[in-house]
Structure 1
Amino acid sequence: MDLKIAARILAVFALGAGLTAAIVALQEEDATDAKALSIGRPGGGPVNAVLLRCRDLGVAAADDAACRKVWAENRRRFFATDRPVAPKTGEVPSP
């Protein structure tokens, strides 16, 4: 088989595969999308409402005392700074 004929056959197959993929993609756009599951946020409540308000304030929230207070509380909860650190057991290696 000549190299030119093989290249032409390969080009025809590639063109056919490309057209087939384009037709399938266009047909799938008409299909209805599945609804995404909604996942609720844990820990909702008044603290979350204040955090949302501070987010909406933007740069002005840096000067708001309530925002600074709720941010500090949120950092404390996130980093769990109120939990005591367990002491490490074992001997200290000597240098």
Structure 2
Amino acid sequence: MTSILPVLRPSRLTDVPPADPPPLPPDGEPEVWEVSAEEFAPAAHALADTVLDAAERGRAARLRHLLDRDVYVAAHVGLRLMHCTPFARRPVRK
């Protein structure tokens, strides 16, 4: 017997967390996010000092190519936002 799996459509993270966080997926359902470094990098760089720790900011600064820095910062800031958005919290570095 063949089972048909649902198609997962990613949510796009292109800016700071939305004013109204998206609803949580039903229990046990996966959620997929897409982060475009090209689209999200300006917002990610604006949040980097607030969200990333000194080691992450230093690592990003040592990357030689701007695109590499954009991808690194977008990925790390984006991950923090994705973890915080369902709880309607702003990520804060401790």
Q: TM-score, normalised by structure 1?
A: 0.23
Q: TM-score, normalised by structure 2?
A: 0.23
Greater share of helix: 1
**Bigger Rg, which one:** 1
Greater share of strand: 2
Structure with more relative contact order (C-alpha pairs < 8 Å, separation 6 or more)? 2
